[in-house]
Amino acid sequence: MSNASSAELPKIVDPYKLAEHNSVLEGSIPLRALPRFRDAVLGFDDDAACRVKLSFYMDSQRRRIVSGELEAPVNLECQRCMGPMGVVLVSQFILGLVTSDEQAQGLPRDLEPFLTDDFSADLWSMVEDELLLVLAPYPLHERGDCPASEELEAYEPDGSSAEPEEKTGDNPFSVLAGLKNTKH
């Protein structure tokens, strides 16, 4: 995605007309204007924006499609150290434009539905949904970059996982196996 696009992406468009004309929209959306996303992340710079590129077209079955790419710089909370970690969220997606649940059911499995009104769609809401979907459920710093790595080393000094090792010694239940074979 190019860095040249700094114009704001339109909020409401007619996606069906855009698909009929094989249109491409490129622009940005201020992250502060996406309330659900704003509440889901630790934070971002005041002027942070999501860069978006959307291509509208019709496939061979005459379905209206929107494919997109987006990038957004945000801070997430590392679930290991509970500290901030800067990441750039990146997503690529392909959506089928539909106006009803029945149309959504008719889409092939490789297309996610994007429910719209007959002649308008809220692109900012669509982008916000895609940003929420790309969020990691448990964001973590890389092990060596995490401020909590010293504490982790106390529990896992060799850097191995915290899984218990299998013991190759005597099985305490081996006596029971012997009892099973004896007759009374």
Q: 95 — phi, psi (to 5°)?
A: -125, 145
* pLDDT single digits (tens) 52-85: 999 999 999 999 999 999 999 999 999 989 999 9
Confidence of residue 130 (pLDDT cuts 50, 70, 90): very high
3-state secondary structure of 96: strand
Average pLDDT over residues 168-181: 67
pLDDT of residue 39 exceeding 60, the answer is yes
Q: Give yes or no for a contact between 91 and 69, defined as CB atoms under 8 angstroms apart.
A: yes
Q: For residue 21, give the nearest of 67, 68, 51, 64 by alpha carbon.
A: 64
- Mean pLDDT score of the chain: 87
Q: Give yes or no for a contact between 67 and 85, defined as CB atoms under 8 angstroms apart.
A: no
Structural tokens at position 65: 């499609």
Structural tokens at position 174: 């081996």
Question: Contacts from 23-31 at CB under 8 Å and sequence distance 24+?
Answer: 23/55, 23/56, 24/53, 24/54, 24/55, 24/56, 25/52, 25/53, 25/54, 25/56, 25/123, 26/1, 26/2, 26/52, 26/53, 26/54, 27/51, 27/52, 28/52, 29/124, 29/127, 31/72, 31/74
**Domain spans, the chain:** 12-155
Sheet with 84-98, strands from edge to edge, namely 24-30, 49-58, 64-77, 84-98, 112-115
* pLDDT single digits (tens) 139-170: 998 888 888 877 766 666 555 554 555 555 66
